[in-house]
């Protein structure tokens, strides 16, 4: 086997691995019914934030209509959204969570 072929194959494989996957923002959306303390609980439980950071993001959701909980790869972001929606449903709150490309 020629080294030229090996070098071209390695170069192609190297190029394919260098581009990072697209990232997605996970957002909580404001509503008039979900208690602020519940939103803080969601941010602490699902996004592993301390109380201070969770409170800041909750206030952003409350005042601006939405707040960024984190930026993740597509699969992780989709899992986080599903966890939030399920947690809210279990606790009978209408909290909405979405993801959008960063």
Ranges of each domain in the chain? 32-101
- What are 29-63's pLDDT values in tens digits? 999 999 999 999 999 999 999 999 999 999 999 99
* CATH number listed for the domain at residues 32-101: 3.30.1390.10
The pLDDT of residue 54 is: 98
- The whole-number pLDDT of residue 1 equals 52
If one compares 13 and 31, the residue with the highest pLDDT of the two is: 31
pLDDT band at 8 (very low <50, low <70, confident <90, very high): low
Instruction: Give alpha helix (H) positions in 2-90.
Output: 3-18, 36-47, 51-64, 74-90
């Amino acid at each position: 086997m020629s080294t030229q072929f090996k070098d071209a194959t390695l170069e192609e494989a190297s190029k394919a691995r260098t581009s990072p996957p697209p990232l997605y923002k996970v957002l909580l959306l404001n509503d008039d019914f979900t208690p602020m303390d519940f939103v803080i609980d969601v941010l602490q439980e699902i996004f592993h934030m301390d109380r201070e950071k969770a409170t800041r993001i909750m206030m952003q959701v409350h005042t601006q209509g939405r707040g960024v909980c984190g930026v993740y790869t597509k699969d992780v972001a989709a899992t986080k959204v599903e966890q939030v929606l399920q947690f809210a449903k279990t606790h009978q709150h209408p909290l909405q969570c979405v993801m959008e490309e960063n």
